[in-house]
Amino acid sequence: MTTPPDVPSVFGPAPLGPLTLKNRIIKSATFEGASPRGEVTDDLVAFHERVARGGAAMTTVAYLAVSPEGRTDRHCVLLGDGSLPGLRRLTDAVHAAGALASAQIGHAGPVANSRSNGAPALSPSRRFGASGSLTRAVTGADIARITEDYRRGAATAVAAGFDAVEIHLGHNYLLSSFLSPKLNRRTDDWGGPLAARARFARQVVAAVRDGAGRDVAVTAKLNMADGVPGGFDLPESIEVARMLESDGHLDALELTGGSSLSNPMYLFRGDAPRAEFAKTLPQPMRLGFSVVGKRFLKEYPFEEGYFRPEAHRFLEALELPVILLGGVNRLDTVESALAEGFSFVAMARALLREPDLVARWAAGARDPGRCIHCNRCMPSIYTGTTCVEAGPPVA
């Protein structure tokens, strides 16, 4: 297939803010399950080194917390002086393998496991969080502190050698939960109309750009829809994207969807691994999960590039570069997405199964990725994220 002259080449150099990526395929963030007690391990370094050797232009490290209570649990890396040497070792390995490195930074908010963290989870309004405990409503002082945590976290990521910083605005983590009219019931300046619900996210994006500077790319991962009745939806998301574009701090938007609190399969699509997920729960919780599992892990049929129709709406509304995410397994999908105007394509599960898929495509192969969308990689995050079909990764 010959690419028309006005369509970007998949494997040609591509600008992302101040960066030049070697191609237009990015490894999207997937929690690696390789940081016990929040430590950067050889396994975490090897995870991203494999992706870098496999041909992706940039690999995204997930999930780096900016605040202690903002960790998903105690096994999440906290950005700070203690994590700096390990993260520098990781970025050095990625660079040596021929790719750039992006740091996904965020605050888990109501998705945080308060028991594991030893601190109450935070949310816009008091509610039950992901760990079953009541959250604490965020105060004005919390907002000021967490904003500064993001600024410092971005500076730490740059000091660690990351080329890009991705701000997590999705999946009902803290900033995403502020965007949601279902989760944000506040009556002060941080709740109510969309502009007020978006205020925290916009403030954080500005702080991250200030902390990161202009020599690295700053992107955001934004929910297009929570997939929950009464939640953040597509029309509001487009408006928030316009706000972020007008603020001028971002180099691109990666578009996602779903709620880690109540509808994670809206993001994944395909098989719902209920039995495998239940095995990761403590014994008393397994019985309850057998009752609520079908409501929490719903099944959505897998379609190649399933977020593409909704993401196309953002192309029509923005000049800001847009990164397509969601079930991309085929080279012709990447090519047609670029022809439509997407600037980059992000891949996750396909590269988890075959880290060298991009290199094979670059060498002339056109076979699709071998991911079968069974989603059994999802519960594997508790023991080290891997494709259970492919078996243990090769070092």
Q: Would you name the residues annotated as active-site residues?
A: 173
Q: Name, in order, each residue with C-beta under 8 angstroms of 386's C-beta and a sequence gap of 6 or more.
A: 352, 377, 380, 392, 393
The DSSP annotation for 27-63 comes to: E-----S--GGG---HHHHHHHHHHHHTT-SEEEEEE
Rounded to 5 degrees, what are φ and ψ at 169?
-115, 30
Task: Specify whether the CB–CB gap between 206 and 150 falls below 8 A.
Answer: no
Residue whose structure tokens are 């690295």: 216
Assess contact for 290 and 221: CB atoms under 8 A: no
Report the C-alpha gap between 208 and 103 in whole angstroms.
12
C-alpha 29/C-alpha 12 separation (Å) is 23
Residue 128 CA to residue 131 CA, distance in Å, equals 8
Per the CB < 8 A criterion, the answer to whether 94 and 48 are in contact is yes
Structure tokens at 325: 């995410």
**Cα atoms found within 13 Å of the Cα of residue 355, Cβ hemisphere only:** 20
d(C-alpha 231, C-alpha 234), whole Å = 10
Residues 6 or more apart whose CB falls under 8 angstroms from that of 132 comprise none
